[in-house]
Chains A and B, each alone.
Chain A
Amino acid sequence: MTDHHAPAPGPVTAQDARIAPKPPLRRFRQASWDEKLVFELGGPGERGVLVPAPDPSIEVPEIPAALRRTAPPALPELSQQQVLRHYLRLSQENLGADLNIDVGQGTCTMKYSPKVNDRFVRDPRVAALHPLQDEDTVQGVLRVLHELERLLAEISGMDRVSLQPAAGSAAIYANVSMIRAYFADRGELEQRDEVITTLFSHPSNAACAKTAGFKVITLHPDADGYPDIGALKAAVGPRTAALLITNPEDTGIYNPRIEEFVRIVHAAGGLCAYDQANANGILGITRARDAGFDLCHFNLHKTFSTPHACGGPAAGACAVTEELAPYLPHPTVESDGERLFLDHDRPRSVGKMRPFHGVVPNLVRAYAWIRSLGAEGLRAAAETAVLNNNYLLHKVRRIPGVSVPYAEGRPRVEQVRYSWQKLYEDTGVHSEDIGLRAADFGTHYWTSHHPYVVPEPMTLEPTESYSRADLDEYAAILAEVAREAYEDPETVRTAPHRSTVHRVRPEALDDPGTWAVSWRAYRRKILGESP
């Protein structure tokens, strides 16, 4: 041991003991463990966990030879702590929303997921429930589902809600499936084979409609960035099944003529489904029903705070009018006045959208979140999300090289799609580069869905969760990276420098001869090993 407490040569002054104030931008370094692949760890015979053996009197039955596994799977063999350490290192190489100022994943509503709500879902009275238990033994969870349906019905203005869809896109698909069943019932499905959506609605609106068998018409924005009402009028007709639309759109621009859009589609005999992925700024302000919609869906992992879990499990909720309620996925949760029960007897239902009753842990979290805030709290969340967004907009638009396309002079609701086009023209630095350089400062951002209608896009959505100081820090990081792009573009173009790894060489990913979706494929194709 070296002695760190060797006496100083002279008396220590206060000045000597003074720690300099933090610089304006944090000197972040991400964990980089240089961790091997799990297949390169451990060794033969090591065990991570043991399995109970059956009573010795019980024999393992004979399996017919063709169905018996002959060679054991080449899984890694590790001791328990090796497994734990490997995955904890990987977790440290991942920047969760609990750690960074996660305002950069626009459209994703990265709000705080309260820790207390995680407690409820880890409780065995949720985690150890089986979906086929007697209803008398699950009245608590049924109460949560029943109440959550009522809360979301009030928030959307709709009559009935299904909590079964596994995620936002699954909820879009469930809505399209209900639309299909509705027109099939009326004998109009053959005729009504078109769905209309907008370019700034999530791509899953177009993709789910196509998957469900509809032709897709996509409305492009007008010169101001609003969905083009002239294009809508030209598109609707006797073939229109539905309009699937987000509002505010992924640009953060609210379509003020939304009622007229709905009226136009209704007049043509179509239904209107509202993708409320961007509902966070309008909770308690305006509702799907108020604008005339027949169906809508919420992403509970966005607006209602359940964690994003590296890309799910999420949870979706479809809300519909009484007219469409018969088509909801089954079962529904009903009350006979004394107890709650599951109603499987719904003959016009579209059927099951996923196993059992939905992603229950996230339904519990969403319920707890709404109950902790109430009506006033939900409105405060919405207003603060919008305030934060316009505050960040006010700061970011002053950064050289940034522009805010469309709807000049109009406010944005809960997010903004910015453009770095000018900076790109000036410096040759792309938006992706800036996002990756931001990782060197402990944060990141997302550009936009494809196609890039807004050139060199960046989509920021600050939600209600971040403090003013957080927003100031985020804007300062962007300003610093923009300054670097003008003064030292190479640093930005080659970023990240302080993240877990450096720029990947992605060429192999699109070539069937070199893509490697698994370790065995890598060994075979790249290392030339024969299995």
Chain B
Amino acid sequence: MTHPYIPNAVPAVRRAMLDEIGATSVEEFYADIPESIRLHRPLNLPAPLRSEAELVRHMDELLSLNTGTDQALSFLGSGCYRHHVPAVVDEVVNRSEFLTAYAGEPYEDHGRFQALWEYQSMMAELLDVDVVNVPVYDGFQAAGTALRMAGRITGRRRLVVATALDADKLSRIRDYVRPDHEVTVVPVDRESGGADLAAVREALAAGDTAAVYAESPSALGLVDENLPALADLAHGAGALYVVGCNPLTLGVLAPPSSYGADIACGDIQPLGIHQSYGGGNAGFIATRDEPHLVAEFPSRLFGLVPTQVEGEYGFGDVAYERTSFARREEGKEWVGTAAALHGIGAGVYLALMGPRGMREIGETILALTAYARRRLAHVPGVEVPFGDAPHFADFTIRYTGSRTADEVRALLKERGVFGGVPTGITAPAGTGKAAFDPREAAFCVTEVHTKADIDRLATTLEEIVK
């Protein structure tokens, strides 16, 4: 069968190549595959859509069954965010040269080395540290690795989670650290939504703690004023302080290093990566430039070096012997294909935004989130917890009427409004509930929303919530 993707399947070409090799058929090349494990029938797959036109038609039929957040008013967040993606970001990440390259050397692939090193450098400015890695898969992986790094550095077993954490993320972290660590989730204070410092102190009293883990903002969207105090508690117990943060907050919020974090980590999806049904993630890990910290990174760290020619920038891998590429199972965890192109895209995003853009987007989102919380608090049948605590993008509300969060969510959807996911679906661990509260719902606003959008949400809720 010939196909535009398979040039040498043309029978005459195939015959000529076989003749040149001196083989009678392709079957000769499979001589080492025993008959007993051969598939003696064609794969049972649907008939091919051989022409591009047929394929496009089929895919269009499938995609028409989707309604994107661009065709509704979406207040969905909880780990995947709808932000504006600048056109220049799309232009760069869709370039063939970047999209289709892989793992070339820092000569013919100089461009990707420089773009990723610049990404590391801009993230380092944002995070106010000297070392940021080439992206890992996602924020979950970054947190798991950051905690294992803390474990290797301290040689200790326990990990203490001090702020509300997404249940899926906790699931990933638990699975990932299982061989070496046990995770203790300290319930947050139910009034403030923030860390319960007394309870954290108590958890640390048991000793053997490798790290205290906190998030800014937490899974409740809350920016916890106890974040600096947790650093003192962690360090007082001889543990490292690991902080997961949303990098988009850092034009307005202090970088974790400034209040004592030894390792910062998180997901860069908010930095110009499309939502893609939750498929657009990349994780960062950041530390001070100290050899004992750098030595524990599993990921690639690109470094800037001279070349043989004066004035040329060259790049290479810093401390490559750390990695499983160099030392298989003796390396730190593992390294492999992860999410480099998202790093390049996030770099473009930061270069476009600059310091003022990052401050302004942070202010806009803080302001709109505060407005949304105030506005919804005026809806009869809606309670907004945690008082005036600053929130960024995500926030939760509670329905006091007869309808559950899932019922309200479904009614909102019928009115073209996406949002109000019951927190039970991504139940933040550490919220101190034995079972999730069926009347609690999560919303999210970003810079793409206007005051009118939020007012529409409020008036729609007024119709629904009894």
Q: Is A207 in the interface zone, CB < 8 Å from B?
A: yes
* Interface-lining segment among A230-238, A385-393, A422-430, A476-484: A385-393
CB pair B253–A63 under 8 Å, yes or no, is yes
Q: Is A60 in the interface zone, CB < 8 Å from B?
A: yes
Q: Is A506 in the interface zone, CB < 8 Å from B?
A: yes
Q: Considering only CB atoms, which chain B residue lies closest to A163 in the complex?
A: B279
The 8 Å CB contact of A379, one of B42, B121, B302, B344, is B42
CB pair B253–A310 under 8 Å, yes or no, is no
The 8 Å CB contact of B130, one of A30, A166, A518, is A518
A-B contact count (CB 8 A): 733
Residues of B with C-beta under 8 A to A119: 56
CB pair A310–B88 under 8 Å, yes or no, is no
* Interface-lining segment among B182-190, B311-319, B458-466: B311-319
Q: For the complex formed, measure the closest distance between the CB of A479 and the CB atoms of chain B, giving whole angstroms.
A: 16
CB pair B324–A72 under 8 Å, yes or no, is no
Residues of B with C-beta under 8 A to A299: 337
Contact A509:B316 (CB < 8 A) given known A166-B339, A380-B1: yes
Residues of A with C-beta under 8 A to B132: 517-518
CB pair B55–A371 under 8 Å, yes or no, is yes
CB pair B124–A95 under 8 Å, yes or no, is no
Contact A91:B98 (CB < 8 A) given known A126-B66, A517-B303: yes
Q: Is A61 in the interface zone, CB < 8 Å from B?
A: yes
Interface string of B21-34 (1 = CB under 8 A from A): 11100101111111
Q: How many residues of A contact B (CB 8 A)?
A: 216
CB pair B334–A207 under 8 Å, yes or no, is yes
A79 to B236, CA, bound (A): 46
Q: How many residues of B contact A (CB 8 A)?
A: 213
Q: Is B202 in the interface zone, CB < 8 Å from A?
A: no
Q: Is A239 in the interface zone, CB < 8 Å from B?
A: no
The 8 Å CB contact of A308, one of B33, B101, B107, B319, is B101
Q: Is A400 in the interface zone, CB < 8 Å from B?
A: no
CB pair A96–B45 under 8 Å, yes or no, is no
A361 to B345, CA, bound (A): 16
CB pair A151–B390 under 8 Å, yes or no, is no
Chain A, range 167-185, C-beta contacts under 8 Å to B: 167-170, 173, 177, 180
Interface string of B322-333 (1 = CB under 8 A from A): 001111110101
Chain B, range 394-411, C-beta contacts under 8 Å to A: 409-410
A95 to B110, CA, bound (A): 9
A142 to B328, CA, bound (A): 37
CB pair B33–A74 under 8 Å, yes or no, is no
CB pair A521–B289 under 8 Å, yes or no, is yes
Q: For the complex formed, measure the closest distance between the CB of B18 and the CB atoms of chain A, giving whole angstroms.
A: 7
Q: Considering only CB atoms, which chain A residue lies closest to B45 in the complex?
A: A375
CB pair A312–B341 under 8 Å, yes or no, is yes
Q: Considering only CB atoms, which chain A residue lies closest to B65 in the complex?
A: A140
A141 to B66, CA, bound (A): 7
CB pair B32–A73 under 8 Å, yes or no, is no
Contact A377:B329 (CB < 8 A) given known A54-B371, A362-B279, A504-B315: no
Q: Is B348 in the interface zone, CB < 8 Å from A?
A: yes
A449 to B103, CA, bound (A): 12
Chain B, range 53-91, C-beta contacts under 8 Å to A: 55-56, 58-59, 62-72, 74, 76, 78-80, 82, 86, 88, 90-91
A282 to B465, CA, bound (A): 58
Q: Is B436 in the interface zone, CB < 8 Å from A?
A: no
Q: Is A149 in the interface zone, CB < 8 Å from B?
A: no
The 8 Å CB contact of A311, one of B124, B307, B340, is B340
Interface string of A129-169 (1 = CB under 8 A from B): 11111101111110110000001001101000000001111
A70 to B255, CA, bound (A): 10
Q: Considering only CB atoms, which chain A residue lies closest to B455 in the complex?
A: A55
Chain A, range 357-394, C-beta contacts under 8 Å to B: 357-364, 368, 370-381, 383-384, 386-391, 394
Q: Is B199 in the interface zone, CB < 8 Å from A?
A: no
CB pair B8–A467 under 8 Å, yes or no, is yes
Residues of A with C-beta under 8 A to B359: 69, 72
A471 to B138, CA, bound (A): 37
Residues of B with C-beta under 8 A to A70: 254
CB pair B318–A87 under 8 Å, yes or no, is no
CB pair B250–A38 under 8 Å, yes or no, is no
Q: For the complex formed, measure the closest distance between the CB of B44 and the CB atoms of chain A, giving whole angstroms.
A: 5
The listed residue with most B CB atoms (<10 A of its CB), out of A125, A350, A450, is A125
Contact A391:B314 (CB < 8 A) given known A70-B254, A467-B8: no
10 interchain pairs (CB within 8 A)?
Answer: A91-B95, A92-B97, A98-B96, A140-B64, A313-B341, A355-B281, A380-B3, A390-B23, A394-B22, A510-B321
Interface string of A475-510 (1 = CB under 8 A from B): 000000000000000000010100111111111111
The 8 Å CB contact of A375, one of B9, B43, B178, B409, is B43
A357 to B312, CA, bound (A): 43
